């Protein structure tokens, strides 16, 4: 079942690449994505095939990650590997 990820990243070159490489390394496929520019930061919204690989990712990789899974929301710590 598809899941939505919302990832807040600093608006700097290479951030999208870092996100997609991390997901690919953990076997998570992206179906659709959008990016919103908010000045100093960006919001990446992705529809992915699964979220089960996310627990294998170091929490610093996704500093502000929200997984929308029905009623549950998970948020990683605020330290950023993408800053």
Say what the pTM is. Answer: 0.72
Whole-number Å distance between alpha carbons of 44 and 52: 19
What is the predicted pLDDT for the residue at 45?
Answer: 92
List 75's β-bridge partners, or say none. Answer: 66
Q: What confidence score (pLDDT) does residue 5 get?
A: 87
Q: What sign results for the dihedral spanned by CA atoms 72, 25, 49, 52?
A: negative
Residue pLDDT tens, the chain, 83 long: 788 888 888 888 888 888 888 889 889 999 999 999 888 888 899 999 988 877 666 666 666 777 776 434 445 444 444 44
């Amino acid at each position: 079942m598809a899941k939505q990820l919302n990832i807040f990243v600093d608006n700097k070159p290479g951030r999208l690449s870092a996100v997609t490489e991390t997901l690919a390394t953990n076997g998570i496929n992206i179906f659709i994505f959008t990016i919103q520019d908010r000045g100093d930061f960006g919001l990446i919204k992705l529809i992915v095939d699964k979220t089960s690989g996310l627990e294998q990712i170091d929490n610093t990789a996704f500093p502000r990650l929200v997984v929308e899974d029905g009623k549950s929301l998970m948020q990683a710590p605020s330290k950023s590997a993408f800053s």
